[in-house]
Amino acid sequence: METKALIGALSALAHESRLGIFRLLVEQGPEGLPAGEIAARRRLANANASFHLKELAQAGLVKPIPAGRFIYYAANYKTMNDLVDYLTKNCCQGGVCDIACAPVIKRKRK
Amino acid sequence: METKALIGALSALAHESRLGIFRLLVEQGPEGLPAGEIAARRRLANANASFHLKELAQAGLVKPIPAGRFIYYAANYKTMNDLVDYLTKNCCQGGVCDIACAPVIKRKRK
DNA sequence: TCGAGGGTTCTATTATATTAGAAATATGGA
DNA sequence: TCCATATTTCTAATATAATAGAACCCTCGA
């Protein structure tokens, strides 16, 4: 994942509405939810939710799944994982990690 | 970690200069680096680096460590871990995770 | 106490993002 | 075909962030 894409993803998540939508979809699972349902659950105007979903989609964090006149949106777990990996990789030059980045280590050790 | 703080952290990272600084400090380890050294390595004007370091500090992602007339900055690994945990927690309602979020699972299983 | 080095703050300019509301597109059923 | 539903696109107003440069503050050593 390139820097540009990473910044796009972080930027997309750095907003109350979009972070809320993303978390909703992460918890929801791969089936996703239709745009209208997302807007309703997050209490957003449809146009506004659509705008934010587009941003998330462009950042690769969610993907649209058309189904008749509904458009389902689902979290893109690969992007999420790439992002998390990028943020935490190579920490502490491999040295003092056991102290400083203990939780990271715990995650990384399988 | 509250939503406001999370958005602050994501927002702080969603910028080329700041992401670069943060990654530099994550790799550097808990001793950190002095502000001038950070500016030099990231090829930033001092005033500009100072501005971005302040943003990162306010977001809790780095912390200043004064040492004489130097100010060292070090990554705050706790915030990094909180952020990563928040983004990935409760995914897929605990159900289909083995397929969709495999890497997340791998990280979480100790 | 004075000067240099190391950082930060202030100001103004420019660029970018967010929001709401209206209009537009597309699908499926009567 | 026509209408209602589901969603997106457009437009304009408003708010927020990034940058450069100048001025400022603090610490150390002569």
DSSP A37-105: HHHHHTT--HHHHHHHHHHHHHTTSEEEEEETTEEEEEE-HHHHHHHHHHHHTTGGGGTTHHHHTHHHH
A43: burial class by Cβ within 10 Å (0-12, 13-18, 19+)? exposed
Q: Does residue A71 reach within 7 angstroms of strand D, measured from its CB?
A: yes
* pLDDT at position B105: 60
B36: helix, coil or strand? helix
Provide the pLDDT confidence category of residue B97 given band limits of 50, 70 and 90. low
Span A53-108, pLDDT tens digits: 999 999 999 999 999 989 999 999 999 999 999 999 888 877 666 666 666 666 65
- Top pLDDT among A24 and B108 is at A24
Average pLDDT over residues B71-97: 88
Residues A50/A35, Cβ–Cβ less than 8 Å = yes
Alpha-carbon span B85 to A32, nearest angstrom: 21
pLDDT at residue B92, rounded to an integer:
85
Q: Where are the domains of chain B?
A: 3-108
> DSSP letter at B101?
T
For residue B109, pLDDT over 80 is answered with no
Kindly state whether B92 is in contact with chain A, defined as any CB-CB distance less than 8 angstroms: yes
- pLDDT > 60? residue B108: no
State the pLDDT confidence band at B29, using cuts at 50, 70 and 90: very high
pLDDT of residue B1: 78
Asked if A57 is an interface residue toward chain B (Cβ–Cβ < 8 A), one would say no
Tokens of B20: 């670069």
A24/B contact by beta carbon, under 8 A: no
Chain A residues near residue B10 by CB distance under 8 angstroms: 10, 13-14, 19
Of all nucleotides, the one whose C1′ comes closest to residue B73's CA is: C7
What pLDDT is stored for residue A99 in this prediction? 61
CATH of A3-108, one of 3.60.15.10, 1.10.760.10, 3.30.830.10, 1.10.10.10: 1.10.10.10
3-state secondary structure at position A34:
strand
* pLDDT, position B104: 64
- Average confidence score pLDDT of chain B: 89
| Tens of pLDDT, residues A27-61 | 999 999 999 999 999 999 999 999 999 999 999 99
